Each structure stands twice: as C-alpha cells, then as structure tokens.
Amino acid sequence: MLGSHVGLGGKEQFLGSVKEALSYKAETFMVYTGAPQNTRRKDLSEMRIPEAAALMAENGITKFVVHAPYIVNLGNTVKPDAFDFAVEFLREELRRTAEMGSDTMVLHPGAHVGEGEDAGIQSIIKGINQILDADTKAHIALETMAGKGSELGTSFEQLARIYDGVAHNNKIRLCLDTCHLNDAGYPVKDDFEGVLRELERYFPLNQIACIHLNDSKNEQGAHKDRHENIGFGTIGFDRLCAITKMTEFADTPIILETPYVPKEGEKERAFSPYRQEIAMLRSGVFNPDLIEIIRREAEA
C-alpha cells in the first residue's frame, strides 16, 4: 500500500492528516504526532482521533504508521539526561501510537555521538528494554540509517545486534528506507533482490513493517542521507516502482518522504510532490517533466 508522510497540526490535528493523505489518493500514510524536531505534544483528547478514524474507515485506510521525533537519541551515553528523556518520551509515544490506532512506531535507533558503535548499541538496547514490556501495544520499527555522523542501524548486522539484545523483541520490527540503504552502501538500484537476501540472513522479510520509498541525491555508500524525488536520483524510477509492485509488500505501508518542490529558481521547499509521485508510481511510467507539472498544478 502506497502513501506518504503527512503533516499534523493546526485546528484539524490528526483529522487534517487523514484529509491530506486522501488528497494524495494515498492508501496509507505516516505521521509525526507533533513537530518532528521537537517533543512538545498535544493531549490525545485534543487530536480529533475519533473523527480521523471514521474518515479512514469510510475511505478504506486500514493502516498507517507513526514516526518518532528524530531528536531523541537512545544511543547517547554522554548525557544521561538525554538518554533518560528519550526513554520517557518514547514510552509515551508508543502509547500515543496505539491510541491513535496504529501498531507501528518508526524509530531512528540512535547515534553513538563519538563513544563508538558498541557503547551506542548497548545504550540503545538498554533504552528499548526500558520502553518495552509484555503489555506494550504497538511495535517499534527500527529504521535502516544512512550512516551520517555517528548514526547506528546502518547495517542489518547492527540492527540484528539490537534485536538480539531486546528482551521483548517480539515488539520489534524493521523500516527499510531505500535512500538510507543506498547511502549506507547497499546496492538498492543494481541488486535489490540481493539486498533482501542479505537481510534474510538476520530477519525474515515479514519483519518489515514499513518501507520509506525515497530516491537519493547521492551515490551508493555516500553516507549522506539526502532524499530525492522518485526517479530523479541515483536509485531511479524503475527500481523504486518495482518495489511498490512486489507481492511481498502488498500489505506493507510504503511511504514517500521525498522533498517538497521549490518554486522555479528558488530554494525553499514549497509544493508537496506526493499526489503526483503516487500517481506516477501507480502508472508504472516515469515522467521526466514531473517536477514542472507539480509546480504548475500547485500554482494553478
């Protein structure tokens, strides 16, 4: 099922998120429960969840995923306060995820901030073990990371080490980000089947709870993490489109996190590309004029 990241805020709150997804003709979506770069969150009672759920039901949206804010870091062994805050916040965020009606919270595993891979991974395991218990309702989907800075979770082997250290790891899932995999060094464009076979050395494919479908501005192995619009980057349309057609992922939320399109000659991100990118992926045919069309339709 295909969808995109959508916003959450203003008066309409989560109801607005569902409306945004429907405006893209999406079958699913991903949402942050507030601004992704901070941890201020509204009370669930103010988020218009019942209305959002009704609108989803009316339109056949059966699944969506929540993304945890990317500023919390379970890998931080330098600042105990930051680690404790991350644990506390993520426990609440998992509860919010379930209350909103999702069973998956995507999480960037963490960054070791200079203390090394082993220290970071042990810290992440310790944190997740404080977050999950037998009664936790939603899953944590660990996202594959590009490897910029001291990010962890850049290889399946690292993710498996985290998984193996977690007591309630029946609550752990994976989120594959195609841009991040490419930037981490996996041959997404040339041999995605091989990437999945490599993954299967550590995890069965049914552990994949979410796919982030992004093209990349950078070459395989660049460790950069800069997303590009579908078909305009180094992975290319054919591979990304083929992933959306794989029967293995027919029931998996496939989420676009591609960049907004700036106005002609400007830099600032202005227009959502998602309605047009979703339509193009469904059609199976790349349109080299897509960026122009997005601008034209947005300005009309």
Of 143 and 228, nearer to Fe ion (C-beta) is 143
Q: How far is the CB of 300 from Fe ion (least distance, A)?
A: 30
Q: How far is CA 204 from the centre of its chain?
A: 19
- Mark the segment that binds Fe ion (CB under 5 A) among 19-27, 113-121, 208-216, 231-239: 208-216
- Which residue in the block uniquely carries the two structure tokens 């091989």? 194
* Contact predicate 231/290, CB 8 Å: yes
Stretch that binds Zn ion, among 8-16, 42-50, 157-165, 217-225 (CB under 5 A): 217-225
| Contact partner, 225, from Fe ion, Zn ion, none, Cβ < 5-8 Å per class | Zn ion
151 touching Zn ion, by CB under 5 A? no
Write down the least CB distance from residue 265 to Fe ion, Å. 28
Nearer to Zn ion, 27 or 225 (CB): 225
- Measured from the CB atom, is 56 or 175 closer to Zn ion? 175
The pair phi, psi for residue 66, each rounded to 5°, is -105, 140
* Antiparallel, parallel or unpaired: β 65-67 and 227-228: unpaired
From the list 81-89, 159-167, 171-179, 217-225, the region that binds Fe ion by CB under 5 A is 171-179
Count of alpha carbons within 13 angstroms of residue 113, beta-carbon side? 15
Are the beta carbons of 280 and 290 closer than 8 angstroms?
yes
Residue closer to Fe ion (CB basis): 123 or 216: 216
Three-class secondary structure of residue 211 per DSSP? strand
**Nearer to Fe ion among residue 7 and residue 293 (C-beta):** 7
Stretch that binds Zn ion, among 51-59, 128-136, 224-232, 244-252 (CB under 5 A): 224-232
Which residue, judged by CB position, is nearest to Fe ion in the bound state?
212
Give least dist CB 51 to Zn ion, A.
31
Residue (112 or 212) nearer to Fe ion, CB: 212
List the structure tokens of 285: 């045919």
The closest alpha carbon to 229, from 266, 276, 188, 185, belongs to 276
The residues, ordered by sequence, that sit 6+ positions from 119 with a Cβ below 8 Å of its Cβ are 77, 112
225: contact with Zn ion by CB under 5 A: yes
CB of 143 to Zn ion, least distance (A): 8
Binders of Fe ion among 140-159, rule CB under 5 A? 143
Helix, strand, or coil (residue 233): coil
CA atoms within 13 A on the CB side of 258: 30
Count Cα neighbours of 82 within 13 Å in the Cβ-side half-sphere: 16
Give the single-character DSSP code of 268: S
Binding-site member from 212, 261, 272, 277 for Fe ion (CB under 5 A): 212
Query: Pick from 20, 27, 177, 183: which binds Fe ion (CB under 5 A)?
Result: 177
Taking a C-beta distance cutoff of 8 angstroms, is the pair 202, 161 a contact?
Answer: no
Instruction: Give me the residues that bind Zn ion (CB under 5 A), please.
Output: 225
Instruction: Give me the residues that bind Fe ion (CB under 5 A), please.
Output: 143, 177, 212
